[in-house]
Amino acid sequence: MKRALVTGAAGQIGTELVAALRRLLGPEAVLATDLRLADPDHPVRAEGDFQVLDCTQGTEVARIVSEHEADVIFHLAALLSAVGEKRPLEAYRVNLGGLMEVLEVARQEECAVFTPSSIAAFGPDTPPDPTPQTTIQRPTSMYGVTKVAGELLCDYYHSKFGVDTRGLRYPGIISHSAPPGGGTTDYAVEIFHAAVRDGKYTCFLEPDTQLDMMYMTDAVRAAMELMEADPDRLRHRNAFNVTAMQLTPAALAESLRKRIPHFEIDYDVDPVRQAIADSWPRRMDDSAAREEWGWSPTFGLDEMVDDMLDHLRLAHPIESASPSN
């Protein structure tokens, strides 16, 4: 990796991946792009080069990749699960159409491509605990459909054209910098902001809904380590299961209450997101990632909760100054 272009860079993962790539490669070597123009003080725009780019416009993708002389594309542009159920045609067009354009440009420009898949690539027929690396994939959300098809499209571009495609099946990602983009696991980020700001949170999933999760620090490191891994060792290159912790809303609330004793949670379940969550794995088996490129998470539940609260209390000093915090 020498020069990177990131699509969907102003989103939850892009905001932190761009910063990490700029630290590794140098600010001038990383071009952040997104459909929406990031605010002037947004770090992806304030701390390096930024361009507006719609990933579904192949000619523009080709021009900007070529001008930047990118050798790797981190393709993050997508619509997430809850938004995808509201706008399924747009999710299909952006998630699969955009990926197709990016892969085609990568073939022509000889770039490597990182594409995140998701726990959403599994469905109700998949063994949920543990979910094997290779298993049944019949997802029931449009987002999930695009993630399975995306994994296959990346496999195809690698086997047919030799494009160096690589990808991870991310679980829900928890972070403090940028807000989540409209997914089913968003509750695990919202709960922290609400706890620090209001001392209470109304959760849209049932208390015992268990899902895989990961802290952003590990998610960003996983993407970069996978792209630096020895290609000869990668047998599952476009769809590695990776996980760090398994959470339920009730367990996360309990962990927060240990640090914010007055914190309260109640539940107003959204049937659409609950049905999606119920169709996803409870715990993925990530042994292939551990064996093939040395994946190992560093943040468990306690480390993640402490780090999130440290950062959010710095960002909201007045709200979090209650004596009981």
| Closer to ligand AKB by Cβ: residue 105 or 205 | 205
The 10 Å Cβ neighbour count of residue 303 is 16
Among 77, 91, 119, 189, binds ligand AKB (CB under 6 A): 119
Radius of gyration of the chain (CA): 19
Among 146, 185, 210, 241, binds ligand AKB (CB under 6 A): 185
Q: Which alpha helices (DSSP H) does the chain contain, by range?
A: 12-25, 43-46, 58-68, 81-86, 88-92, 98-109, 142-161, 187-197, 216-228, 249-259, 271-278, 287-293, 301-315
Dihedral (Cα; 281, 286, 5, 304), 10-degree rounding: 80
**Among the options 92, 143, 157, 201, which is catalytic?**
143
Nearest CA-CA partner of 18 in 48, 38, 41, 52: 48
| Closer to ligand NAD by Cβ: residue 137 or 260 | 137
| Closer to ligand NAD by Cβ: residue 133 or 199 | 133
- Which residues are within 8 A (CB) of 320 and not within 5 positions of it... i.e. 6 or more apart? 196, 197, 312, 313
- Tell me if residue 156 is catalytic: no
| Closer to ligand AKB by Cβ: residue 109 or 186 | 186
144/91 Cα distance (integer angstroms): 10
Q: Can residue 172 be called a binding residue for ligand AKB (CB under 6 A)?
A: yes
State the nearest-atom distance from the C-beta of 324 to ligand NAD, in Å.
31
State the nearest-atom distance from the C-beta of 81 to ligand AKB, in Å.
3
Q: Catalog residues that contact ligand NAD under the rule CB under 6 A.
A: 7-8, 10-14, 34-36, 53-56, 76-78, 80, 94, 98, 116, 118, 170, 172-173, 180-181, 183, 185
| Closer to ligand AKB by Cβ: residue 81 or 131 | 81
Q: Can residue 11 be called a binding residue for ligand AKB (CB under 6 A)?
A: no
112/228 Cα distance (integer angstroms): 11
* 8 Å CB contact between 53 and 33: yes
Among 118, 209, 217, 279, binds ligand AKB (CB under 6 A): 118
State the nearest-atom distance from the C-beta of 118 to ligand AKB, in Å.
3
Phi/psi class of residue 8: alpha, beta or left (left: φ > 0; alpha: ψ in -120 to 50)? left
State the nearest-atom distance from the C-beta of 30 to ligand NAD, in Å.
16
**Residues identified as active-site:** 143
